[in-house]
Structure 1
Amino acid sequence: MTQKIGFFIPEFPGQTHIFLWREHQALAELGIEAEFVSTSHPPKAVASHSWAEEARGKTSYLLPFGARDTPAVLGELMRAGPSGIGRSLAAAASAEVRSPVGRLRLLAMIPAAAKLAWFARRGQWTHIHVHSCADAANVAALASLLSGIPYSLTLHGPTLEGYGPNQPQKWRNAAFATVISRRLFDVVSERLNGAKPSRIAIAPMGVDLDQIHRSRPYVSWKPGEPCRIFTCGRLNPVKGHDILLETVEMLRERGIDVRLQIAGEDEQGGRGYRTTLEAMIRDKRLTESVELLGAVSETRVRQALEDAHIFALASLDEGISVAIMEAMAMELPVIVTDVGGNSELIDHGVDAILVQPRQPKEMADAIEEVLGNEDFSRRLRQASRAKIAARFHHRISAQAIAGFLRQQEPTHA
């Protein structure tokens, strides 16, 4: 029997959401019909995937909140009655927030929570799974207090603090949770002791190996030819793109004609951190060597991976990077920083290389070593896809969610 749930993703479909699209498909294969719900539309510049239009058509949005939503919201509040409304007001009053403004902001989420409850009742969802521990988790928690529908969380990281205050309340009332790395599991266990749900699984996101594979053999770099390096990550300081630019500068000074492509956009649709990187590229006279691709489709990412000699990522923190997984699945030499959960993904020197963050010289040295040692490069490439196939395929997280859902009694909103 198919179970219907809400699949709650903030600003869906965004540039980093390909793995959620895959998870949604994997849940369907497991008998879970997950209906998309989101806070609001993302900026158009970051909704670049080939499936984005289809996803938008399948998604119900909480915002903007219009006059036509008023009857549904009032109806859900009436259905919740004084007890449900009282529970939600008490939760907002007791929430761990940093200021009176933060508490008022939480109170203002109650109408959105009522709208979410209305979506759940209309769709006959038995559960809401939230792919965020930020405000979306607050909305789901309030909706649960109003309607009784259970909810769960996925923590993507790279930190817990990055998802804002009120974490104990979000987690305490969740039916279950998944986290994408052992490191994040340890963080939750330490900082939310007594507030975390009894059921938590470590379930990394993954890649679909049926879709992500080479169509032609890897071609090694030869001295005198351009060296193509590819990286993929939103344009945000945490991704370390500025450090990678320094790496490119060093390699070019060593006589290697590096051509770097960066796939990803900033959260402002090109008006934010992109401008800082553009200025840095100009200042370093790398305009002919570095290309900012913006938010591009998964097809374009795979093409770039197939064309590249090296995948490099100089991030300062990560949960476990799906972009790295995709590069490993494409049998590329991968050189990334030893941050966050990357060491749970990579066996250093076996299937990829880890370097210390904020050390462009160390990354440049590692890239030069791989380029100059074909045997080493081949061993890395051969081991990388095998690692992903064994431990990071796209069904792992869906299997964890489906398993937890089967353990709980269905509750109709």
Structure 2
Amino acid sequence: MKARIGYFPPEFPGQTHIFLWREIHALSELGIESDWVSTRRPPKAIVSHSWSEEAQNNTTYLVPFGFKDFLGACLEILRAGPLAWLHCLSVVITAKDLSFSQRLRLLALILPAGKLAWLARDKGWSHIHVPSCADAANIAMFASILCGITYSLSLLGPTLEGYGPNQEQKWKHAAFVLIMSELLFKVAKERLAGFLPDLVEIAPVGVDLDEIKRHSPYIPWEAGTPCRIYSCGRLNRVKGHNYLIETVALLRQRGIDVRLQIAGEDEKGGSGYRRDLEKFIQDKSISDYVELLGAVSEEKHRQCLEEAHVFALASLNEGISVAIMEAMAMEMPVVVTDVGGNSELIENGVDAIMVQPEKPEEMADAIEKVLKDKGLTLSLSQESRKKVAAKFNHRISASILARCLDEIA
């Protein structure tokens, strides 16, 4: 009988967490049951999926604390004893490149770690998996020190630095780590040499091909009709949405009636980078042709993919983009930037087109070529799903996680 684990993503369920939802269910198919725990609830504006309510109702949140939570956490910390207390303090004191305030913040994470350790004992977990390398990883590390439970991490990208400081100790104390791409694996080996756990695996998350599929054949764009371009990515500068908007302006100048929809919201639920993009769109005088959809459900996302002539993403960096995987699985032409691990997903010119980042002219040329060359369009559409089915379906990462759990058992 498989052991029960704690599955610990931060701010779950967020707009980008569909692949985590798939992984949880793929683990269940393998006989591994998970209790869901998260740091805190995400902003309401980015809770968009049809399964979000179910996920929230079945997730235990570490913050805010109730009296019972506080009592349980404190008892777990007391139970751990002086050696564990000293170990936690040593971690705080020796963490590299932290300011005094950051060190105090790291120290404060011991209390939610006590609650996590209490939950692990109460629910009978054998392990905690953290699909992140940010503060949730620090909390799992302290919980491991307090109660002895093992934990693992996933590095999903696009960068290691984006997950904050203290990476060396997060990784050193982990039982194993799963890494999204070969590129990120190389980065981790270089920057965390001497701190990697013995077990490190490349495990890209993927797409549920039973759900992400067309209901009608792809129909190429016809000259003289509106061209629908669809993009999906949280509203963050790293996604390069401003460069894609410039691309749309260029294509319209060339006489192509392009309409762009972007699905995704900023981390502040609409009060952050969205406002910068709205102003940028207004300044380009293309407000009638660019629509920011906000966070959308998986069903709406599939509908937008099915209705679009082209999927485009102008990211400045990626681990390996799940949004690109989903577009390729929908058997449509895809034009994206050659950044991060995207080249591990795409064979340029065969199953999708890649261009250099921050070059709207180059992206406009590629999209125009795809639109006007129906042979290329259909060829890309026919090949794209094959790649995803072979190497990026959602059961692959779950099976690797299950194997690693067996190895440390």
TM-score tier (shorter): over 0.9
> What is the aligned partner in structure 1 of residue 385 from structure 2?
385
Q: Which amino acid aligns with 2:207?
A: V
Q: Paired residue for 2:332?
A: 332
Find the residue that maps to 1:279 and give its secondary structure: helix
Within 1, Cα distance between the matches of 2:211 and 2:403?
25
| Unmatched runs of 5 consecutive residues or more in structure 2 | none
Per mean C-alpha deviation after superposition, the further-off stretch among 80-89 and 132-141 is: 80-89
Could you tell me how far apart the structure 2 residues matched to 1:104 and 1:238 are? 29
Distance apart, 1:365 and its partner CA? 0.3
Corresponding position of 1:103:
103
Partner of residue 155, structure 1: 155
Partner of 1:318 in structure 2?
318
Contact 1:97 1:103 in 2 (8 A): no
* Structure 2 residue matching 1:235: 3-state secondary structure: coil
Shift of 1:94: 1.6
Q: Does 1:187 align with 2:158?
A: no
Matches within 5 A, 1:8-407: 8-407=8-407
CA distance in structure 1 between the partners assigned to 2:181 and 2:310 by the alignment? 25
Separation in 1, partners of 2:291, 2:408: 49
Aligned partners of 1:383 and 1:168: how far apart in 2?
A: 40
Report the CA distance shift for 1:220/1:308 in structure 2 as closer, same or farther (over 3 A).
same
Moved more, 75-84 or 248-257: 75-84
The CA deviation at 1:67 is 2.9
* Range with greater deviation from structure 2 (86-95 or 54-63): 86-95
Question: Counterpart of 1:168 in 2: which secondary structure?
Answer: helix
Unaligned runs of 5+ in 1: none
In structure 1, C-alpha distance between the alignment counterparts of 2:301 and 2:335, rounded to whole Å: 17
The residue identity in structure 2 corresponding to 1:14 is G
Q: TM-score, normalised by structure 1?
A: 0.98
What's the offset of the Cα at 1:281?
Answer: 1.1
In structure 2, C-alpha distance between the alignment counterparts of 1:58 and 1:385, rounded to whole Å: 33
After superposition, the Cα gap between the structure-2 partners of 1:51 and 1:264, relative to the gap in structure 1 and judged at 3 Å, is same
Q: Which residue identity lines up with residue 390 of structure 1 in the other structure?
A: A
Measured in 1, the distance between the counterparts of 2:70 and 2:180 equals 37
For these two proteins, the number of residue pairs brought into alignment is: 409
Q: Which amino acid aligns with 1:91?
A: V
Residue aligned with 1:32, SS? coil
Give deviations 1:331-374, integer Å, cap 9, x for gaps.
01000000000000000000000000000000000000000011
Query: Structure 2: which amino acid aligns with 1:405?
Result: L
Give, as a single letter, the amino acid of the residue that structure 1 aligns with 2:263.
Answer: A
State the 1:189 CA deviation: 0.6
Task: Kindly state the Cα deviation for residue 66 of structure 1 after the two structures are TM-superposed.
Answer: 3.1
TM-superposed deviation, 1:284: 1.0
TM-superposition CA deviations, 1:7-52 (whole Å, max 9, x none):
0100000000000000000000111111111000000000100000
**Helix, strand or coil at the partner of 1:288:** coil
CA distance in 2: counterparts of 1:365 and 1:209, whole angstroms: 31
- Looking at structure 2, the residues matched to 17 and 406 of structure 1 have their Cα atoms a distance apart, in angstroms, of 25
> What's the CA shift for 1:246?
0.4
**Which of 72-81 and 91-100 deviates more?**
91-100
Aligned-partner residue type, residue 120 of structure 2: A
CA shift at 1:2, angstroms? 2.7
Task: Give, in angstroms, the shift of residue 101 of structure 1.
Answer: 1.1
* 1:190 CA displacement: 0.7
Whole-Å separation in 2 of the counterparts to 1:3 and 1:334: 41
- In the aligned structure 2, how far is the partner of 1:336 from the partner of 1:365? 12
**1:49-107 CA distances to partner (integer Å, 9 max, x unpaired)?**
00000000111101112333221012101221222222212222222242111111111
What amino acid is the match of 1:116?
A: L
Equivalent position of 1:4 in the other structure: 4
Secondary structure, in 3 states, of the residue corresponding to 1:3? coil
Q: State the alpha-carbon separation in 1 of the partners of residues 70 and 247 from structure 2.
A: 54
Quote the Cα distance in structure 2 between the aligned partners of 1:343 and 1:70. Answer: 47
- What is the root-mean-square deviation of aligned Cα atoms in Å? 0.8
Is this contact kept in 2: 1:175–1:197, CA < 8 A?
yes
**Which 4+ runs in 1 deviate beyond 3 A?**
none
Post-superposition Cα deviations, 1:211-251, rounded to whole Å, max 9, x if no partner, equal 11000011111111000000000000100000001000000
What amino acid is the match of 2:186?
A: D
- d(CA) in 2 for partners of 1:143, 1:293: 39
Farther off after superposition, 60-69 or 34-43: 60-69
CA distance in 1, matches of 2:243, 2:281: 12
SS of equivalent to 1:281: helix
Q: Distance in 1 between matches of 2:5 and 2:85?
A: 23
